[in-house]
Structure 1
Amino acid sequence: MALSPGGAPLTMAGGVREFAAATPGTVAVIEGERGLTYRALDDRANRLAQALLGRGLRPGDRVAVRLGNRLEFPEIIAAAAKAGLVLVPIGTRLTDAESAYILEHSGARAHISDVEPPVPADVVLQIGGTGAASYEKALEDAAPTDPMVPVDENDPCCVYYTSGTTGKPKGVLSSHRARTLMCYLSAMEWGLGARRVSLAIAPMYHGAGMVFDYAPIVAGGTVVMLPKWDPEHMLALAGKHRAQSAFLVPTHAQALRASDAVRRYDASSLDTLYFNAAALPAALKEWVMEAFPHAGVHELYGSTEAGVVTNCRPHDADRTGSVGQPWYMTEIRVVDEAGNPVGPGERGELFSRSPFLMNGYLDDEAATAACTTDDGFLTSGDIVVRDEDGFVYIVDRKKDMIISGGVNIAPREVEDVVREYPGVADCAVVGLPDERWGERVAAFVVPLPGASIEADALEAHCRERLSGPKVPRGIELVDALPRNAAGKILKRELRDR
């Protein structure tokens, strides 16, 4: 087993064990009127770990969890680590078909959720369920002792499914070491640790959301769950619990600006706001700093595959549009198409190397090899420019990925669904600028000769097969798609329209 210098492996259960012993009465997690101290969190995680192992799961098996931000999510993370199991988070907004693909591709043997699984699983625990599948009954019947299953810190703790450029989501294998280090460093950077209260706004089933929402627990703090995004509810929770830190995406800031709730609630306790998904537009960042004058504003950049890559700190607020400099323990490399380093002010593809990188894509060696280098760097697929001081500015994407409201959307996945509609000869999907969502999905559709396509009917067809953020917000019928000499669709021309 690979050991850290202190002798104990880094795992996602470590913080729960440590603070259950050191500060057992401290409240670890709050959701509505429910709360768990570290002692109770540790006890329930022990029981869940024992319940899963008692139902025939073995270390290394995968456990799907499909939940919003609720009290049970942190104990499920800790329980999986205690039992040596690998979590497979599934988004609550995915369709049954999308969820079924992840369950089948991951080989998950267990399913924990507040809804029934779309396909059978060996072990099903349903929160709010009854009978043999009852989550609470399983905990009640299980032993409260920690199973202490040996875990190698370099083994995966989670498989996150993220959209790629080839359509179907890929499973990102993330290790205990990578995630735990990010939790500790996030706690240090954004004030998430002991004697601090943080809001869990981003969904925990998302790679970034899990790190930033779980980091307070790793570091002995308190996390308050926001079950569903609502600007007024967020501000009310911040005031009630005197929360100090919150992770947001620009879409949240847009919603807060559009609401008058900021004027009606006391959010003066918030001293740290940190944003991801895209750089804040200048006017929006200025509004955030005016609306939350007591808060330092950070803008970070990263990915599920690479973890956190850069951070722009409050004292660099004048670097509008920048996502900052390399984060802790991170090296970056910016290269041209031939792989040669480029200088300040020159465009190039961004690569990073750090302890936070993924172990690879599940069962996809070719995709893993395509985005990594022999010396351990991983490509973001983003085109950036660095200034003379090393600050990074994202200027384009090598990949066609669309990011809408912080959700990664693969154009090909949407295109495949559009092409299934009767009368469609060809199509191309691109992201167009959107003030609220960052980008919105737009589809350019070429009808078959003589075919009549109604945009509303095509949108309804997509909505039945795709989760909300992936559904085209605009459908334009065109005679032909612009292509280059090699036949590749010129999506930049479509975006420029």
Structure 2
Amino acid sequence: MVMPEFACISDYVTWYAEKTPSAEACVFNGSRVTYAQLELQVERLACAYIAAGVSKGDRVAVLATTSPDFLVSFLAVARIGAIWVGLNAKYKRDELLYVVSDCKPKILLARTRIGERQYDEDIKHILSEVSGIEKVVLLDDANALSGAVSYRDFLHSGENILHTHVKAPSSGGGDKKPCLIVYTSGSTGKPKGALLHQQGIIRFCLEQNRIWYVNPHRVINFLPINHVGCVVDLSLPAVLAGGTQILCEKFDPVKMLELVEREKVTLWASVPSTFIMQLGLPDFDKYDLASVQLIAWGGAAMPEETVRRLVEVCPRMSTNYAMTETLVTTVVEPTDNVEALTRTVGHPFPGVELRLVDDRGNDVDKGEPGELLVRSVYNMLGYWNRPEASKEAFLGDGWFRTGDVLAENRDGSFSVVGRLKEMYKSGGYNVYPKEVEAAIETCPGIVEAAVVSVPDPKWQEVGIAYVTLRQSCDWNEEGLRSFCSERLANYKMPKKFLCLPEMPLLPIGKVDKVALKKMAVLEYGATKGGAEK
């Protein structure tokens, strides 16, 4: 079926509610929502937003888990042309305050309890510090916060609009109208809100569904709602495909495999760390994963050993290379070619233009490393409330500076060399941690590697390598050092190799290099001398 390109993301819910009303849109804790039911829920909430005075460009912030609450709230915001902001339930109070203060929402939808944590005092603190929040809607306990309204009462407030309009106006959405702010990780400073738009998201989802075709489209989503991977990479492609998304509040390796088996998941997609944890289960082979038609990952490179094991589960595999600000840059189209999946990040995604430039802005020769510039309809509009940062991020004619260093291969594919911000200088040489990590991960028994730099009085900076091992392997630092010395120039060799039971992870599942860097500084010390190179 050739999918139409609608003006508004939520128009796809309406379309499927008419064409396949009884098809499952989402599953959560055993509860199933059809497209007809989802359409009604989205329309009721959109009308409630309108009744509350939310209009085009206004922000709505949502503190929730990866549940139907998040999905319905986003689709309703998109329908009326407003802008949605997801708040990570793992945020500490100051982190919540920072994001809410920056985006200044008119409406805050929130859970007051998630797991063992109570949020009522956090919400009170936010309300005392941030002006302009006109209404707090509680998704669970209506009595937990004075002045807040229950979700049921909030929906009731929009009934007059629901009864007088066949459908809430969606003319405010579509085209390059903003609909989503995603705050970057902030590993190099305070997070910035990338402002994404409807047209870019719609075209990305349609194209990704063509490349990552599965039938039926059934995918698990457990990523946090503040992340682009949750909203744009997993949830919305499922909606645009008329597929089913199985929503989970948190990742659990055993439960995820059980869900793949029970829900007949066809698209097994996530970040590499979660695949590594699942493959590490002693009884992994007992799960029936025959329904899987495609395995896909993003966010980080997958170790070769992990890819080889996954190929045995499903020989149709894919990965892409992307960042929040661009949605996507390259893709390895479905294949069983392990080298392509581990040594490259594929070819430009359809509709994406790429350039590699040196520090003077000149295009580099094929095979030479250069900073990646990206231009496409998928690019963000800019950083929310950051005109100077937006200006610095874009060159003329819409080229976005990624800060990533890539090289173009002979066949036109691209390989990641590293990040400009992660690159360090050791003895005057540029060292890219990504290259060192890739070499370490070819050592038998190594599951994952992460390299960070620390100051050194002699060499300016040196690398500290952290690794995790397969369960059956013993730690042998000298053996690993010897292995790497045959594959890396001496200036690229890490000063220390340290073994961890597991890597510290960010909420999205990526390795937390900020935490590793703090550990490395304590372990190595900024005043120690280095070894001769």
TM-score range, shorter chain: 0.7 to 0.9
Give distance in 1, aligned partners of 2:266 and 2:377: 28
Per the alignment, residue 519 of structure 2 pairs with: 474
Give distance in 2, aligned partners of 1:90 and 1:432: 33
Mapping 1:87-486, distance limit 5 Å = 87-115=84-112, 116=120, 117=123, 118-120=125-127, 121-130=133-142, 133-140=149-156, 142-143=158-159, 144=162, 145-151=166-172, 152-164=174-186, 166-191=188-213, 195-211=216-232, 212-290=234-312, 292=313, 294-315=314-335, 316-319=337-340, 320-400=342-422, 433-435=466-468, 469=512, 471=515, 474=519, 476-477=521-522, 480=526
Scaled by the length of structure 2, the TM-score of the pair is 0.74
Contact 1:384 1:392 in 2 (8 A): yes
Per the alignment, residue 456 of structure 1 pairs with: none
Contact 2:22 2:34 in 1 (8 A): yes
Residue type matched to 2:321 in 1? Y
Contact 1:201 1:246 in 2 (8 A): no
SS of equivalent to 1:119:
helix
Gap change, CA 1:204 and 1:272, over 3 Å in 2: farther
Gap change, CA 1:50 and 1:295, over 3 Å in 2: farther
Per the alignment, residue 441 of structure 2 pairs with: none
Residue type matched to 1:237 in 2? L
Contact 2:61 2:109 in 1 (8 A): yes
TM-superposed deviation, 1:202: 2.6
SS of equivalent to 1:307:
coil
Unaligned runs of 5+ in 1: 1-5, 404-410, 412-427, 437-462, 484-492
Per the alignment, residue 49 of structure 1 pairs with: 46
Residue type matched to 2:230 in 1? G
Contact 2:304 2:338 in 1 (8 A): no
Contact 2:194 2:384 in 1 (8 A): yes
TM-superposed deviation, 1:429: 13
Give distance in 2, aligned partners of 1:276 and 1:28: 24
- Percent identity (aligned): 26
SS of equivalent to 1:338:
coil
TM-superposed deviation, 1:188: 1.8
Contact 1:67 1:205 in 2 (8 A): no
Give distance in 2, aligned partners of 1:333 and 1:433: 32
Which digits, 9 at most, give the CA deviation of each residue in 1:432-477, with x for residues without a partner? 54449xxxxxxxxxxxxxxxxxxxxxxxxxx9xxxx9554572544
2:35 is aligned, of 34, 38, 43, to 38
Give distance in 1, aligned partners of 2:267 and 2:107: 34
Gap change, CA 1:245 and 1:165, over 3 Å in 2: closer
TM-superposed deviation, 1:387: 0.9
Residue type matched to 2:363 in 1? P
Unaligned runs of 5+ in 2: 113-119, 128-132, 424-432, 435-451, 453-460, 470-505
Give distance in 1, aligned partners of 2:60 and 2:211: 31
Contact 2:183 2:226 in 1 (8 A): no
Which digits, 9 at most, give the CA deviation of each residue in 1:403-442, with x for residues without a partner? 9xxxxxxx9xxxxxxxxxxxxxxxx999954449xxxxxx
TM-superposed deviation, 1:165: 6.2
SS of equivalent to 2:196:
strand
Per the alignment, residue 60 of structure 2 pairs with: 63
236-245 or 364-373, which moves further after superposition? Answer: 364-373
Give distance in 2, aligned partners of 1:172 and 1:196: 28
Give distance in 2, aligned partners of 1:67 and 1:47: 19
Give distance in 2, aligned partners of 1:137 and 1:179: 32
Which digits, 9 at most, give the CA deviation of each residue in 1:268-297, with x for residues without a partner? 10111111012212112112212x1x3511
Residue type matched to 1:313 in 2? E
TM-superposed deviation, 1:138: 2.5
Per the alignment, residue 74 of structure 1 pairs with: 71
Gap change, CA 1:122 and 1:141, over 3 Å in 2: closer
Contact 1:351 1:378 in 2 (8 A): yes
Residue type matched to 2:126 in 1? V
Gap change, CA 1:480 and 1:239, over 3 Å in 2: closer
27-36 or 255-264, which moves further after superposition? Answer: 255-264
Contact 1:334 1:384 in 2 (8 A): yes
TM-superposed deviation, 1:136: 3.4
Give distance in 1, aligned partners of 2:249 and 2:187: 30
Give distance in 1, aligned partners of 2:385 and 2:347: 33
Residue type matched to 2:359 in 1? E
Gap change, CA 1:435 and 1:12, over 3 Å in 2: farther
TM-superposed deviation, 1:96: 1.1
TM-superposed deviation, 1:142: 3.4
Residue type matched to 1:119 in 2? I
Gap change, CA 1:359 and 1:385, over 3 Å in 2: same
Contact 2:179 2:196 in 1 (8 A): yes
Contact 1:165 1:399 in 2 (8 A): no
Gap change, CA 1:435 and 1:312, over 3 Å in 2: farther
Give distance in 1, aligned partners of 2:421 and 2:525: 25
Which digits, 9 at most, give the CA deviation of each residue in 1:244-282, with x for residues without a partner? 002211101110121134212111101111110122121
Gap change, CA 1:324 and 1:435, over 3 Å in 2: farther
Give distance in 2, aligned partners of 1:429 and 1:168: 26
Contact 1:235 1:261 in 2 (8 A): no
Gap change, CA 1:221 and 1:133, over 3 Å in 2: same
Gap change, CA 1:195 and 1:396, over 3 Å in 2: closer
Scaled by the length of structure 1, the TM-score of the pair is 0.79
Residue type matched to 2:150 in 1? S
TM-superposed deviation, 1:339: 1.4
